[in-house]
Amino acid sequence: MGNRSLTLATAAKVRRILYVAYPLLPVSDESCGGAEQMLSVLEAEIADRGNLTTIAACKGSRARGVVFSTGRETTETDQFETRNREHEERILSLLRETRGSQPAFDLVHDKSGSFWRRAAEIEVPVLATLHLPRHFYPNHAFDRVPQNLYFNCVSETQRQTFADVANVIATIPNGIGVKRFPFVSEKQDYLLWMGRICEEKGTHLAIEVAKRTGLPLVLTGQVYPFSYHQRYYNEKVRPHLGGDDPAICFLETPTLATKLELLTKARALLVPSLVDETSSLVAMEAMACGTPVIALRRGAIPEVVVEGVTGLICENAQEMAEAVGRVSELNPFACRAHVEDHHSASRMADHYEKLYDQVLALHTAQLQKAA
């Protein structure tokens, strides 16, 4: 793994954490997916506090600590299962090679959405962050939870749906590196949608809102390599691009600089998700820039967006279009302050450090009981 000096000389303890990423796409500060972004921010925070961190991810990933490459980035359509098997087997091999009286890792933090199902095959404890709505997981995925596996949710709304699952021991809201997002109080006359291009994220509803208001719309993000995502893009999004009534454009995988420029200047960020969101990193990012959010009332959105303060929460596309005319009443400074107080990366990392210690203590107690 290599030795790395502590960045915090007074650190009370050093935790050795292996983070497991989603297998298809690289992890960096320019990742499109929310789970990848959150992993990038959390790993940097935890590493900067003097802990030893490794991210298991595909080639091209970046980390403050070490990157353990599990294979190449996948762009071929519908290759998730093949790539995920390769990803998981390489991680298991790494853990087997480094186990012993002094294993290389104290804990595995799974952010991939699926590696935790292999927890029974390894000795160290596994903490799995559940990023997705409950119904996105296989029906029997939680029937047998091994003793070394623990879960946390990212919102209280989400946690309620996992009330019957063993070893769900915490709720930790997602956070962002607030200082990376510049604050701008003066906005321009365009709307912004940002994320994965797929039906569940409601890209077509953002287009409907733009057409109802007549305002230009900038779509940014990525079409993932799944055939049903690509069909959705070709049928529901692509036909509306171009023209000027209103102007609708798509910027695929923008650089971080472009993303920040768009977030700071938009009149509002649209979040028209059709599924119960467990969180919303992009809403946090927009609010940090002083940009209000107009969102559908789905899942944990009311835990992230403060109605009438940092955004407006609606029931349908028509209400979202009507809300566009009212966002100028919201105070950009209140948007920024809310994120600083409730959704900072440092706050999130504080909670995860405590949770890591809780997991390690529980695992030690189980080993002692079994001895």
> pLDDT, tens digit, for every residue of 112-127?
999 999 999 999 999 9
In this prediction, residues 157-179 reach a mean pLDDT of 97
Task: Looking at the structure, tell me whether residues 238 and 321 fall in a common domain.
Answer: yes
pLDDT of residue 6: 38
Confidence of residue 2 (pLDDT cuts 50, 70, 90): very low
Please indicate, yes or no, if residue 5 is contained in any of the structural domains: no
pLDDT of residue 11: 41
Answer yes or no: is pLDDT of 88 > 60.
yes
Please indicate, yes or no, if residue 101 is contained in any of the structural domains: yes
Task: Looking at the structure, tell me whether residues 336 and 297 fall in a common domain.
Answer: yes
Task: Looking at the structure, tell me whether residues 291 and 229 fall in a common domain.
Answer: yes
Please indicate, yes or no, if residue 3 is contained in any of the structural domains: no
Angle at 155 between CA 50 and CA 305, to 5 degrees: 105
Task: Looking at the structure, tell me whether residues 74 and 187 fall in a common domain.
Answer: no
Task: Looking at the structure, tell me whether residues 186 and 220 fall in a common domain.
Answer: yes
Task: Looking at the structure, tell me whether residues 65 and 102 fall in a common domain.
Answer: yes
pLDDT of residue 369: 86
104's CB contacts (< 8 A; 6+ apart) are 1, 16, 18, 98
* Domain that includes residue 329, residue range: 178-342
Q: How high does pLDDT run on average in the chain?
A: 93
Please indicate, yes or no, if residue 207 is contained in any of the structural domains: yes
Task: Looking at the structure, tell me whether residues 223 and 138 fall in a common domain.
Answer: no
For the chain, what is the domain count?
A: 2
Please indicate, yes or no, if residue 370 is contained in any of the structural domains: no
Q: For residue 325, what is the domain's CATH number?
A: 3.40.50.2000
Task: Looking at the structure, tell me whether residues 88 and 153 fall in a common domain.
Answer: yes
Please indicate, yes or no, if residue 97 is contained in any of the structural domains: yes
Question: pLDDT tens digits, residue range 18-74?
Answer: 999 999 889 987 776 778 889 999 999 999 999 999 999 999 999 999 999 999 887
Task: Looking at the structure, tell me whether residues 95 and 171 fall in a common domain.
Answer: yes
End-to-end CA distance of the chain: 30
Task: Looking at the structure, tell me whether residues 250 and 271 fall in a common domain.
Answer: yes
In this prediction, residues 160-165 reach a mean pLDDT of 97
- Partners of residue 344 on adjacent β-strands: 176
Please indicate, yes or no, if residue 7 is contained in any of the structural domains: no
Confidence of residue 5 (pLDDT cuts 50, 70, 90): very low
Task: Looking at the structure, tell me whether residues 182 and 100 fall in a common domain.
Answer: no
Task: Looking at the structure, tell me whether residues 254 and 151 fall in a common domain.
Answer: no
